[in-house]
Amino acid sequence: MSEVQTSLDIFEGKPGNLLFAYNQDALQQNKYYTAGKLTAWSILHNGPGIKCLNQHLFQMMCGRTIDLSKFDLETFHDTDVQQRLEKVLYK
C-alpha cells in the first residue's frame, strides 16, 4: 500500500496527512481507479487499507459528520486554495 501512496502521483501533502491531488494526467491514466482497486483488494484480504489520508477526509469519506473548526488550512499546499477556503470559512 505504500506504493499507492508514493508512486501513483495522486496524493499531495505530508505523510500520514495526504489529500487527493488535482492531476488530470493521473485521471486519464486511470491512476485514481487503480489506487481505489488496490485499496479495496487490500481491505478485502484483511490488509491494511490506506492509512495515509488526512483524518478529516477519511471521516467524511465514511459518511461521518465532523467538526471542521479545528481544520488546519496549511494541510493544503496550494496557497490559492488556502485563501479561498479562508474566505468561505470566515465570512
Mean pLDDT of 16-25: 89
pTM of the model: 0.69
CB 17 within 8 A of CB 54: yes
Q: Does 8 have pLDDT greater than 90? A: no
| The predicted structure's pLDDT at residue 1 | 65
CA atoms of 74 and 79, how far apart (whole Å): 8
The H or E element that residue 20 is part of is: strand 17-20
The H or E element that residue 2 is part of is: helix 2-7
Q: Is 17 exposed, middle or buried (0-12, 13-18, 19+ CB in 10 A)?
A: middle
